[in-house]
Amino acid sequence: MKFAVTSRGDDISNTLKRRIETYLLDFGLFLQEEEPDLVITVGGDGTLLQAFHDYSHRLEETAFVGIHTGHLGFYADWIPEEVEKLVIHIAKTPFQVVEYPLLEVIIKSNDETEKEIRYLALNECTVKSIEGSLVSSVEIKGETFEIFRGDGLCISTPSGSTAYNKALGGAILHPSLASIQIAEMASINNRVYRTVGSPLVLPQHHTCLLKPLNNVRVQVSIDHYNPDIGEIASIQCRVADEKIRFARFRPFPFWKRVKESFIGD
């Protein structure tokens, strides 16, 4: 098996990264950072998020597993004290692959080329105005659903529903559900602009299309990336054909993790 190990960059994570590489090499596995079968991330959910984008071009071949050296995460679910156990699992046990849906974002620019740029998000895509309010039409399945006015919109995956989406009052969705969720950021409702005022959950075969209507600079974020698009004509979001693959060596109790993260023991 070919593997790669990524680190958050702090001393603890870097030391753990070197230990894991040494252990796995001793077991006869191959360190291959360009085309790994398994990527082990050491740090936290942000480290795994970075690794996802680094290897998004080979999602069908690469699986991910995370070790957290800080707060317990939803992606990084192993702890440093379990490194030896994890290494033995990797070296000796065929892992189960669990696939979770991703968000496809296609941004069309408003310049002369009208080029389209495609992105994948593991957590969410956010659309905000840099100054003033965002006014945008929201189309679902090709028909206008509402005209939104407010701070912005967050379109999240089920995996990302526990992140920014939750802070906006969105629902927590089990990560196995092939869907996307649209949550509002401080919508303004009056006689001119009316929104549904609730998060929307769209199934796999539904597409959401946002078209900014007022003359403001729009910032689109894909997970933690802020691509420089220029003037934006439209932002199309749907469940991607690709999926992220996680290597599971033991059960992953999602609702137990939700309880531990937000309620406590």
User: Which of the residues are catalytic?
Assistant: 45
Q: Which of 139, 59, 101 is nearest to 239 (CA)?
A: 101
- Residue 92, SS3 per DSSP: helix
Phi, psi of 230 (to 5 degrees): 90, -145
Is residue 202 within 8 Å of residue 178, measured between CB atoms? no
- Which value, to the nearest 10 degrees, does the dihedral of the CA atoms of residues 223, 250, 42, 243 take? -30
Structure tokens at 24: 């796995």
Is residue 95 within 8 Å of residue 89, measured between CB atoms? yes
250-to-64, 65, 116, 118, 160 alpha-carbon distances in Å: 14, 11, 41, 34, 22
CA 153/CA 129 separation, integer angstroms: 10
Helices (H), the chain: 11-26, 45-54, 83-92, 164-167, 254-262
Hunting for tokens 């992105």 — which residue is that? Answer: 119
